[in-house]
Amino acid sequence: MSLENVRDIAVVALAAVWLVATLMMVITGVLVWRLIAVVRADISPILRSARSTVETVQDTVETVGDAVKDSAASTPRTVKGLRRAARYASWFWR
């Protein structure tokens, strides 16, 4: 086997490897493209659901905050009234 024959075999083998590698990269690219399309289609409902959940939580926090604020505002008046009632009751029991 001469050097020219070895060279020719090496070139053909290298070309075959290059062709297989290129074909594999194209197939991988197509698969990645399809995966991205599937992920985009699947993530849209998830994001809508998450947005809805966040809005619900915001409304709940606002409602609870208003209720706590209203009850906290009336607490000092209630305590003041109870103290006054206790003071008047102590006058009657002396």
Does residue 45 fall inside a structural domain?
yes
| pLDDT reading at 50 higher than 80 | yes
Separation between Cα atoms, residue 94 and residue 89, nearest integer Å: 9
Does residue 48 fall inside a structural domain?
yes
- Give the pLDDT confidence score for residue 21 in this predicted structure: 97
Structural domain that includes position 62: 1-68
Does residue 7 fall inside a structural domain?
yes
Does residue 84 fall inside a structural domain?
no
Helix (H, G, I), strand (E, B) or coil at 30: helix
CA distances to 40, 60, 64, 80, 91 from 67, rounded to whole Å, are 41, 11, 5, 21, 36
- Give the pLDDT confidence score for residue 65 in this predicted structure: 81
Query: And the tokens for 41?
Result: 């289609």
The domain tally of the chain equals 1
Separation between Cα atoms, residue 40 and residue 26, nearest integer Å: 21
Query: And the tokens for 47?
Result: 């994001």
